[in-house]
Structure 1
């Protein structure tokens, strides 16, 4: 009995020593067997066996406590790491990595609910092989994640595919199968009472999670949710701070730009008030804008342009000018030009065209608008001065149009004071706008004659313009096109001249008026005409018919060819018309072969153009031939011309 007691006491002491040494569990099993071999009683062996079991329980308790302490220590380290200032993406990567390493899992990932569409997406993954990748859309039904969200608590399974306690989804099952996963746990990430995502951990083997592990992962989930919320708030704060900084920078830049704009506008207005010319104003504006600048009037004529302005496509520039007038705001062309209207009230006085330059677009547009406003002020002042001067021009022209203008020399002197040299060639235009605002027509006329050093007035609902020049037809077309662009309606113009004496303006005006009336009677509304363009009608309407000019304009090329080549084209023309337009009969009267007449007629077509046999032009050709024959007969006093019997009318 004493030996048995001794064996029991030695065994118990040995168990205590093993516990103190934290020996592995397998060393506790040999003591009971040793006591049985030594002959200890059954009661002594039972005591030792019971003591060994208790020792193993104590050893397991110590191991669990150590594991819990290690987990808590790792959780504290994780919490410390999560407090660092990460952006959201970096923080999510840290959470996934820490979750995988915390309890030695094979894989971990994080999903968050997208606020836009309400679906959950994988936003970070660690330890994955292929299937679970960032951007994977988590199905809204099935899986441990949805089960955890429904319960608002961690949910786990030791073997996912074999566990039927929850609803499965084929997409999730396929991912689990491809990744070779078995044990899965999902911890909901909560903000208040709302679930905003889930933290997943998984093993590729079957694993039963202990309560301590579940509690530890739940704590990690809470920390992760708080860290994600903090990171989002921090990111939002950074974004708001950055936006405030940008707003502050923009405000400072805007304030600086506003001061620069005000200084620029003030300088330009000061120049205008001091009576500068348009060229000086535009030069100052171009220097501030840092690019060449062009100014055009309301109808597209260039008023001034600074040095270095690039070549432009006139057709495109014209189209963009129409656009800017319609928009009444700056626009940019495809070539980089900026166009801005110069507006006074509701009237567009012109257009500023700015070449491409180094300044930012916003600064250039604001400065260009200021330059356009200053230019509009200057153009309006010039228009007002021209209007005041125009009253004197109107009165002078009305006197010149009188039946018997008094003292033409005095009128010429008054004209020179207005910058008009009436002793030099001028043309007279009678302009009738068919429609359109009359006020705009008068403003255009004042500006037009001011630029061309001419005179204007109104008579019988028509404008009368006296302009320097020798070609009334060209002057009429230019005036018609320019005014048409301003009012957008047809303009009919009769023209006459040139005239180089004040006393002859009345007669020239009467001829231009007759051209306008003839053009209207012929249905030519919206066209232009001079005596020369009216042909024989012009000859009839002229106060002093110029038969020489009519003959030269009608058959001059044929006469010159006969004189140079000693041919008989003129005589062939006469024979052709007297024979009723028959080449064979004309050949008989000329005693030549019909082929000769045909060749001569082809030559005449080359000289006069293909339309000389048209009815109206044919009449003019015949009239010119008759006038030439009559003048030749009268000058030689030889009596009536002798014609062959078949040429008699």
Structure 2
């Protein structure tokens, strides 16, 4: 018997404590999954450990990219930059070898320029025509491709020269991603293995980020080399050399300033202020929707910015702009002014600031996406009401919200085709601290602290409307996690009713729609509507054995005449008056007003129809 009791303790509270200890010590998923505990406790612990490992990998990738950016920025020789790129790629992905090919515009192909881990001389000198082999396919389409087994993959054209070099190197699995600056093709960065290996999307994305960083650094290194050559050629012109050297020094100082900010955890606001300090004017960062994300004192951003399609600093009327972009996406616009005529060195400072800002924006986006993905899972768990109540309460609290305090549930719906990811991120900012926001079933669901769902829905719709048309419905106030599922169903019906009523872009509580929401909303819940309108009277009748609901129905049927209602009910008129007084106290002020009175009569009728089923 003692042995049995001990095993129960391990599988119960003792097992749960052991799981918590493993999680606190950072144990791997396999060790957590093998620990003795109840099935539910082990399932939750494995989910937490898995999420933590995903976050660790993402953080490790971001840290490695940042360290790579710092290391590449310190290199001034093109050959050293290329060698550093392939070494970093191999270390980050843990493959057998990595290599980099560069584009030859004159011959129209790519040639091997740097390798790490290669043992074949033939492989190290191979050239790839555009469209041939996996690398040629990447070069011609400018898109990443990867294969777990090169020899059985028929997506690309095999040639004798390429297949011979790949065979001599013993390569099986390959992943290649293009090096692009704006829309200019620079080359291809590869990671390869000598045994079959599937590349995950995270690894492909990591290689792509490194390729973007490498392409920009390579172009800047070439530009710096060109500048240094020009400086040597102009050595006889002392003043010109002095000015150019001063520009290089300012560019180096700007680089050191930007690197220090990023390595110190600074954000785009710090970078914007650094640009203004270095140039002596003002600076601002403008999002793609035209909103100013960060600005220094005195910033005067024009309503219309100059054409920035060239990827260079463009000026008009004393204001200069630069597109902050990756290889295939424009992220924001860096605007500077109050600096007079920009010298070449100052233009390079702005361009360098644009590159660093793009990296910071990408890092912030990846971190925000990871946080939002975790919130999405929590919202789905709460809406689906999966698992014990205590587990769901702890899950909500781990996401930063307290379901035991009064809150309202909002459903946000944008036009079809809109990004729920972007909508969820915007809703997080619009709902404020203490809210839990996540995407669920095509909508965005938010648990927002407060007791007035109508006011919250209207406020959030107005804030979101500054960027896009978003319809918001609200239900509440609520407490506890068990209320989430039913409240979500009601809010979904209400937001569908708002859209059907032509109130897109507006916010309202479900209770404000009344019978109209029941009629036009999808999947109407008649019983819930009756309960919402008559619940206080029904509860009173159930507790006291009275018939206030019947009295109210008779009063309406008698044309609001207490005397005629008393006749119909076979009671004294004073009894009807007393009951009406009690009804008024339970329903609250304004219950006899036309709109409220209509809702009550409709609810009485619906109740009668439900009873006759």
TM-score, with structure 1 as normaliser? 0.39
Q: Which has the larger radius of gyration?
A: 1
